[in-house]
Amino acid sequence: MPLGVVLFTVLAIVRCALGTYTDPSVLDACPGYHATNVATSGPNLTASLALAGEACNVYGSDIQTLSLQVTYETTTRIHVKITDADETRYEVPESVLPRPLADPSVDPSTAAIQFNYTASPFSFTIYRMSTGEALFSTASHALIFESQYLRVKTDLPKDPNLYGLGEHTETFRLPTENLTRTLWSRDAYGVGNGTNLYGNHPIYFEHRLSGTHGVFLLNSNGMDIKVVTNDEGSSLEYDVIGGVLDLYFLAGSEIDPTEVTRQYAEVVGTPAEVPYWSFGFHQCRYGYTDYVEVANVIVNYSNADIPLETMWTDIDYMYNRRIFTVDPDYFPITRMREIVNYLHDHDQHYVLMTDPAIAYAPNENYSTFDRGSAADVWLKAENGSYFLGVVWPGVTVFPDWFNPDIQDFWTNEFQLFYNPEYGIDIDGAWIDMNEPSSFCDVPCTDPFQQAIENDDPPARTTLPPAPNTPIFGDEYRKRALSKREYTGPENLLNPPYMINNAAGDLSNRTSYTTATHANGMVEYNTHNLFGTMMSTATHNAMLARRPGLRTLVVTRSTFAGAGTKVQKWLGDNLSDWEHYRNSISGILSMASVFHVPMAGADICGYGDDTTETLCARWATLGAFYPFMRNHNTIGTIDQEFYRWPTVAQAARSAIDMRYRLIDYIYTAFHQASVDGTPILNPLFYKYPQDSNTFGIDLQFLFGPSILVSPVTEENATSVSMYLPDDIFYDFNTFQPVRGNGSYVDLEVNLTSIPVHIRGGVILPLRAQSAMTTTALRQQDFEIVIAPGLDGSASGSLYLDDGVSITPNATTEVSVTYDNGAVTINGTYGYNPGVGISRIVLLNVDEPTSAALNGRDLTDSVSYDPSTKVLEITVDLPFNQNVSVQIA
């Protein structure tokens, strides 16, 4: 018997104790496969892979014959797929992630990246055509393919610059010494560092001075991805417990790192556009005791002059934590409708929580459970009965998102409960606990007893308010009362290879891996898709409520491609500085790698008590998350921004900047929806040759041009800000700052955050902020020109009605500046009803003349020699091309 096989036999005896094999040399000693019957036809290569020697049978039996298919799908994308030649295996369904179309006319010889292989033993290399460097190479690393264990490994440069492989709380540039990234969705309160979290995005970008490329493994099974750097170099290894090896290699670019993001969008889809109002500030907490407290929070924000766009309510409003219900004593439907009416009358919005777990309540007149049971849409246990978990309502069932009738059921529940005529007219949806989460550990033999021990659903701890308690004043009370009320075969549990799941067994605190869908699929394979499938169903339900309007559906659990439908928050963080700091990495990963750009973390922290200093700093940082929401949990101190004077002032100042920039970031979101250009940018995206930027994740670019440098240390009154070799401008003072590839120390008071405009850009800003986004859209624009080192600048602006999926009219404008000439050109289909009040030109000498479309403007010019800022009052309607000449 070969020595390698002997070693494996010995190791197998202690596998349960060790959990996984960790010695890569042992795995590399496996025989791998021989490539035979190789055939090429245009952009396609196919081959059979036959086991090349005596099987190692690492975690089961090696599959004897595999099928290889290689396709040059575009000149920048190669698709490599390896699967069992004789048996059909699980793959991510196209209904969940549609496959990108391939161009049959691609000539491989002209592609930016090339596939090369060695037949015996089989290995392959993806290399960049222009430089000849290997981007992904399995040479000397045996391919292992078993029923419940797949292994492929590549060499990497030493200390590689890797980004992605999430959701995670590691640094944005992944650590590469003994890193194990585990992909298996779990309820991760406290989002522990280095553990698997809520979402799964098996994509990584690797950046080199010679270019940036990407690798995407389309597989939803649990997996460990191991990155190791030692004296011999670096490697990346996938250890996957099922499915197939379905790899997409993206050439990226030698010049522009953002090109790889656009290529990835061609595979998983471009991000959805979101409603304009969703960029406003959102407030929520778990633990608002009743409708009176919710109403008071709304009023208190207004009294504090802090813009509040959207009020949210967590599961507190439900009766016994049952979705699609309200507690008649604490959140009666008439009073809830009164709150919604008040918000809508003040151009504000409302969002409610909807969880996937549905109370198991036979013979209790719980209509949602009864209708779902009648339609037979619940996830099933292995024996065909309902799969039962324990969540907030107690014992629960879970929707089967693969059931052919599930969308009709889910849409109907939304139509009934969130009905504008007799229900609660929500503007967006919030879905949580959709990993799916269950409070039951394996073995959950008696969920009913577990629910009793957990005290689920929890009892109320306060007395209900009097049903006629006034809120908002008599006008809204009478209006609400006038409405009618609502009446409204393998070892799936313990696979041979155990991934590094922080929750322990795969089925711990979630649905069992043996749970079965209507189409026969099991949760072992589809677990990581549950959150995204719920997200899609909820998006569709919201569309049915308001046809033609963009949705806001904020979810916790995501898979690759989720951003085409939904938005994301980073889950149950804690009120501490570590979570404050790693939120930056989290939103960078979501927005600049995973294509889920409308992302944010719970501002001031979700768990534990925040502090005044932390909350003030977090209010300023959170203003530059794409999704800005304050949210904390029950049993912690109140942390609405108005609770402390310093936090209130910090919030006002930061929201003022955010709101003036909304059209700029809205334009960036539109561009992302068109081609996948990232919403947020790590510094290396814009400075790819500056190696100092590769690991920076405590600064970032909001959109393409706004550099945000938050204070990240407790009690600090200064920040060390890295400035690449470029020119920047202070957002508030317009003072130029010349970067030279080094750190600059800035003094920062408690209510401010350093924000700079990158040189060479033109910003379309609202001339002033407002209390709501509706009022903001009534403010004129000002055009701020920040010349680059060459003296030129450019920018763009996209406008539409802010809510329609397919707007009837749009305005798209480009603005350039060069040699004293400002040119505004575009198409003006959408009339914003406002104009351009002024043009502000930074870091220029005093002019002697100015003309607008040939008309003298000298009397409309003001110049400050101390700041070198030129202001030109133009007061133009936003419906025409403009030329301004300054001399």
pLDDT above 70 (res 2) = no
Best CA proximity match to 841, nearest among 824, 866, 860, 820: 820
Residues found in the chain: 887
Check residue 28 and give its pLDDT. 87
Best CA proximity match to 589, nearest among 161, 166, 162: 166
Tally the C-alpha atoms within 13 A of residue 81's C-alpha that lie toward its C-beta: 20
Q: Of the ranges 19-33, 155-169, 544-558, 837-851, which one carries the lowest mean pLDDT score? A: 19-33
pLDDT above 50 (res 423) = yes
Check residue 479 and give its pLDDT. 44
- Examine domains 3-268 and 686-886 and report if their fold is the same: yes
Tokens representing residue 526 in the block: 């589809």
Check residue 767 and give its pLDDT. 97
3-state secondary structure of 50: strand
- For 452-495, how does the pLDDT look when each residue is reduced to its tens digit (9 = 90+)? 999 999 999 999 999 999 999 755 444 443 433 333 357 999 99
Residue pair 339/329 in contact (Cβ under 8 Å)? The answer is no
Check residue 580 and give its pLDDT. 98
**Residues 269-282: what's their mean pLDDT?**
98
Check residue 483 and give its pLDDT. 37
Query: Which DSSP string corresponds to 52-85?
Result: -SS---SSSPBPSEEEEEEEEEETTEEEEEEEES
Tokens representing residue 850 in the block: 């100015």
CB burial of 574-591 (b: ≥16 within 10 Å; e: otherwise) equals bbbbebbbbbbbbbbbbb
**Cα separations in angstroms, 752 against 304, 520, 684, 710:** 18, 55, 25, 9
Tally the C-alpha atoms within 13 A of residue 80's C-alpha that lie toward its C-beta: 20
Categorize the per-residue pLDDT at 268 as very low, low, confident or very high, splitting at 50, 70 and 90. Answer: very high
pLDDT above 50 (res 287) = yes
| Residue 782, burial from CB neighbour count under 10 angstroms (0-12, 13-18, 19+) | buried
**Residues 292-300: what's their mean pLDDT?**
98
Rounded CA-CA distance 345/388 in Å is 42
Query: Which DSSP string corresponds to 820-861?
Result: TEEEEEEEE-S--S-EEEEEEE-S-PPPS-EEETTEE-GGGE
Rounded CA-CA distance 90/604 in Å is 42
Rounded CA-CA distance 771/636 in Å is 28
Q: What is the DSSP letter of 333?
A: H
pLDDT above 70 (res 12) = no
What single-letter amino acid sits at 29? A
Tokens representing residue 659 in the block: 């709101």
Query: Which DSSP string corresponds to 787-824?
Result: --TTS-EEEEEEE--SSBSS-S--EEEEEEEETTEEEE
Q: Would you tell me how many other CB atoms lie within 10 Å of the CB of residue 489? A: 5
Tokens representing residue 675 in the block: 């081609």
Q: Mean pLDDT, the chain, as a whole number? A: 95
Classify residue 410 as left (phi > 0), alpha (psi -120 to 50) or beta: alpha
Check residue 493 and give its pLDDT. 95
SS (H, E, C) 557-619: CCECCHHHCCEEECCCCECCHHHHHHHHHHHHHHHHCCCCCCEECEECCCECCCCHHHHHHHH
Scan for tokens 């777990």, then name that residue. Answer: 357
Check residue 487 and give its pLDDT. 33
Does 2.30.29.30 match the CATH number of domain 686-886?
Answer: no
Q: Would you tell me how many other CB atoms lie within 10 Å of the CB of residue 271? A: 27
Check residue 412 and give its pLDDT. 98
Q: What is the DSSP letter of 137?
A: E
Rounded CA-CA distance 63/24 in Å is 20
SS (H, E, C) 263-318: HHHHHHCCCCCCCHHHHCEEECCCCCCCHHHHHHHHHHHHHCCCCCCEEEECHHHC
**Residues 491-514: what's their mean pLDDT?**
96
**Residues 652-666: what's their mean pLDDT?**
98
Tokens representing residue 804 in the block: 């329609």
- For 108-150, how does the pLDDT look when each residue is reduced to its tens digit (9 = 90+)? 999 999 999 999 999 999 999 999 999 999 999 999 999 999 9
Check residue 192 and give its pLDDT. 80
Rounded CA-CA distance 397/385 in Å is 10
Best CA proximity match to 96, nearest among 535, 553, 598, 545: 535
Residue pair 595/271 in contact (Cβ under 8 Å)? The answer is yes
Categorize the per-residue pLDDT at 84 as very low, low, confident or very high, splitting at 50, 70 and 90. Answer: very high
What single-letter amino acid sits at 567? Q
Tokens representing residue 184 in the block: 């298996």
What single-letter amino acid sits at 322? R
Contacts of 41 (CB under 8 A, 6+ apart): none
Check residue 25 and give its pLDDT. 77
Best CA proximity match to 38, nearest among 68, 77, 83: 68
Categorize the per-residue pLDDT at 20 as very low, low, confident or very high, splitting at 50, 70 and 90. Answer: low
pLDDT above 90 (res 15) = no
Domains of the chain, residue spans: 3-268, 686-886
- Secondary structure percentages of the chain, helix, strand, coil, to 5: 25, 30, 45
Q: What is the DSSP letter of 421?
A: T
pLDDT above 90 (res 295) = yes
Rounded CA-CA distance 785/793 in Å is 7
- For 298-324, how does the pLDDT look when each residue is reduced to its tens digit (9 = 90+)? 999 999 999 999 999 999 999 999 999
Best CA proximity match to 310, nearest among 356, 272, 276: 276
Q: Would you tell me how many other CB atoms lie within 10 Å of the CB of residue 502? A: 14
pLDDT above 90 (res 66) = yes
Query: Which DSSP string corresponds to 607-660?
Result: BS---HHHHHHHHHHHTTSSSEEE---TTS----GGGSHHHHHHHHHHHHHHHH
Phi/psi of residue 226, each to 5°?
-110, 130
3-state secondary structure of 391: strand
Phi/psi of residue 579, each to 5°?
-70, -30
What single-letter amino acid sits at 616? A
What single-letter amino acid sits at 196? N
**Residues 245-268: what's their mean pLDDT?**
98
Q: Look at 5 and 58; give whichever has higher pLDDT.
A: 58
Tokens representing residue 227 in the block: 């990155």
Check residue 474 and give its pLDDT. 56
- For 738-771, how does the pLDDT look when each residue is reduced to its tens digit (9 = 90+)? 999 999 999 999 999 999 999 999 999 999 999 9
The pTM for the full model equals 0.96
**Residues 372-389: what's their mean pLDDT?**
97
Residue numbers annotated as active site: 432, 435, 572
Q: Looking at the domain 3-268, which fold is it?
A: Immunoglobulin-like (2.60.40)
Check residue 214 and give its pLDDT. 99
Best CA proximity match to 252, nearest among 346, 111, 362, 115: 111
pLDDT above 90 (res 658) = yes
Check residue 756 and give its pLDDT. 98
Rounded CA-CA distance 515/511 in Å is 7
**Cα separations in angstroms, 506 against 182, 498, 527, 560:** 12, 8, 10, 20
Q: What is the DSSP letter of 688?
A: T
E strand spans, 167-210 = 179-183, 201-208
Q: What is the DSSP letter of 528?
A: G
